A and B are shown apart, each in its own frame.
Chain A
Amino acid sequence: MFFLSLSFYHLEIGKSDITNINDLIWKIFVTGLIATIGSLITRYLLVVAQYKPALINKMLIFFIYDVNTGLLIIFLTSTFIVWKKLILYQKSKSLIRFWNTFEILLLLSLLLTFANYQPFDTIFNLILGLLVLLTIILSVNLKWVAYLNFKQKWKSILLIGLIMLYIWYYFVTISDLSNRFSLSLNLSENVTFLALFIFNILYAAFSILVLLFNLPTSSVFEQKLEEVINFQKLSQATNTKQDEEQICEILLESSISAVVASGAWLEIRKNNSVEKKVLYNKISEQRKNKIESDIKNHFKDKQVTPNPIQSSRKTQLTVDLRDEEFKSALILPLFVQDREYGELCLLKDLPDGFNKEMIEIIRSFVNQASISIENYQLIQEAIENERYKEELEIAKRVQGSLLPETLEKNSDFEMIAYSKAAAEVGGDYYDTYRISEDKIALIIGDVSGKGTSAAFHMSQMKGIFQSLSLLDLSVDEFIKKANKAVGNCLDKKSLITASYYIIDTNRKSIQFSRAGHCPTLYFNHQKNETKFFETNGLGLGILRNEKFDEYVEVYELNYAPGDIIFLYTDGITEAKNSKGMEFGYERLASHLEKYTLKPLEEIRDRLVKKIYDFCETQTPEDDFTIVLIKFN
């Protein structure tokens, strides 16, 4: 019988995979249930045995005894295993060493029973004493208690109490049975058995005591846990795509639950008190205003700084109030990106209700919330920047595609151009159109403004130029009609400057009109002089009616071989150096004079280099464009 129960013991050791405390408690309960059933069976058998003395014979008694023993050992060993799990809940090296020693000793003592030592002689006592000592050392490991919440602790107390009861009951029953019937095998004198028994009872007793004493502090532990969870919620807010208002709401809720406030509000003051938004919790707007003015008056009386509510970032404010419902208040300012963002006010219904730990917790919440809000704002800014950059890229591409790839050429002249856009998209434009075999139209223009709108106006101008040029209009007709067309396209405050030329290689003439654009620079080879043509003309879009036509002037000249026309935009003449001095017209003219005999490419390249050197930068502020025509 004994060996049978031993084999049960080994079986139980196999069951050791559940680690959850709740499940362990359940297991304890199940064990207790088994024990109860076992107890009931033995009870019943005893009662039966008493009433029918005829049935009492040695076999029956042995049987009952063995069943009892078996059940008891099962119970003891399963409890032993559960206790082992609980003790080793938080492992450490020394703990494991102690436990292993304990188990080895226990096994040793088991072997001893076969050696048939007499009870209570020295070796018996020695081993028993050691085992008890180890039990006491091991029983101090009750860290699992802290992880249970209030309800679970009570349940555990109950169950463990019952278990202790069972153990005691069994012990009594077994010793009583064995004494009564003077059986050979007396478990109560067995070392292993005693040790197991003592171990289980001691640990159960310790557990109950510790559970009882930890009941009052379990609420604190739970609160700490909740604070950590709330803190994590706040710091995860940006990952979960919460916007600013949601972060503020989380902050408000977390703060309220952390200090168990009876009312609170969070005032959001963005853009320096222009917009105000308040989140309320268990308090109405009137009450909030009343309490706010109370606090301000409170400080007015004490003659502290005029607006203590807008306090510096390090301090918080605790105030005792004289309101019926709220007796103390805690106010903390919220700073985001070094600017004041808002204010959190928590109210409690007891005076002086905020201790140092509470204030610290709330402060850490507020800091975390401000970090989360800052992250959110920075992410939004980054997204805006991306969008803006994309827009610029598109506009740049549009602009690039509008300028002509190849310029018109003729046996009479050659033409080259250069255009460099500023860092932001600009509105410089030039284009050519071959009206007929002898006539070529040429335009250079500058759209006011920068950015995407300038690029779009430029494409409108190109459309106007291309459509009007093919009509073979005279120069002034072109300008007048262009003004009408442009007037419908542009907004009220925009304008386009342009100069329009028709080169007639048959008559060897150039006709042009200047619509508000920079004056054309002309080099006369024969006279060897450069000159600016300061003809009259309003920019396109300045006057959007017939009155514009009165200001249109046409100029005509005949060109000779070696003459050079130089078209440009104001990005060149207005280019500034570090001292604020402009490149200017004279510099341009003198540059052209110097290199009139050189090929056009060289004139162009030298001029470009000269401008960059003058500005001391490779990235000019305004776009500049050069178109050079030399007549053969």
Chain B
Amino acid sequence: MIEISSKLEEGIYYIHVKGEVDASSSIHLDESISQATQNHKKILIDCRELEYISSAGLGVFMSYINELEDKDIRLVIYGLSEKVKHVFQILGLDQLLTIKSTEEEAKYIVDGI
């Protein structure tokens, strides 16, 4: 089961992911990020309550890498648990996506420079 909520605050688009991202629920994640990338340049994805992500979910993130670069969007994922972070690291996605531990760090990246 997955719960995704989003809000716009101080010019930053927040996506909050709670639960598990598997093949069926990855569609919702996809929709959410797609909506975000259409109109916003600063996106933060709060994964503090993300328990598990399957290859389908990772594929969703992966599919936006080019778009992020083309549209010059700053997207930061933060709050990953060790377990989930490890999954990103094995695949090498941590080198292509910006991953931070805390919300402050994430906000700093997105706002700064």
Contacts and interface: CB of A to CB of B under 8 A. Distances in A.
Interface of A: 446, 448-450, 492-495, 497, 516-519, 536-539, 541-543, 551, 570, 582
Contacts of A450: 23
Contacts of B35: none
B89 to A, nearest CB: 8
Contacts of B83: 582
Contact of B93 (A494, A542, A570): A542
A494 B91 CA distance: 12
Nearest to B30: A493
Nearest 3 A/B pairs, CB to CB: A448-B55, A493-B59, A538-B92
Contacts of A582: 83
23 contacts: A448-B55, A448-B58, A449-B23, A449-B59, A492-B59, A492-B63, A493-B60, A493-B63, A495-B91, A497-B91, A516-B92, A518-B90, A536-B92, A537-B92, A538-B91, A538-B92, A538-B93, A538-B95, A539-B92, A539-B93, A542-B91, A570-B90, A582-B83
Max count, chain B CB within 10 A of own CB: residue among A448, A519, A536, A537: A448
B29 to A, nearest CB: 11
A570 B87 CA distance: 10
Contacts of B63: 492-493
A105 to B, nearest CB: 87
A495 B62 contact: yes
A86 B96 CA distance: 96
A536 B89 CA distance: 9
Interface string B41-61: 000000000000001101110
A518 B30 CA distance: 26
B43 to A, nearest CB: 18
B65 interface: yes
A629 B55 CA distance: 28
Contacts, number: 57
B66 to A, nearest CB: 8
A542 B90 contact: no
A549 to B, nearest CB: 13
A525 B92 CA distance: 30
B65 A543 contact: yes
B52 to A, nearest CB: 9
Contacts of A536: 92, 95
B58 to A, nearest CB: 7
Contacts of A497: 90-91
Contacts of A543: 65, 96
B54 to A, nearest CB: 8
Contact of B55 (A492, A495, A519, A551): A495
Contacts of B23: 449-450
Given A516-B91, A536-B95, A538-B96, 20 more contacts: A446-B55, A448-B58, A449-B23, A449-B55, A449-B56, A449-B59, A493-B30, A493-B56, A493-B60, A493-B63, A495-B62, A495-B91, A497-B90, A538-B95, A539-B93, A542-B62, A542-B93, A542-B96, A543-B65, A543-B96
A394 to B, nearest CB: 20
A538 to B, nearest CB: 4
Given A449-B23, A518-B90, A495 B58 contact: yes
B59 A448 contact: yes
Interface string B88-111: 001111011000000000000000
A315 B87 CA distance: 57
A516 B59 CA distance: 13
A494 B59 contact: yes
Contact of B91 (A492, A493, A539): A539
B56 A542 contact: no
Nearest to B59: A493
A446 B59 CA distance: 14
A34 to B, nearest CB: 84
B62 A493 contact: yes
Contacts of B59: 448-449, 492-495
A446 B91 CA distance: 11
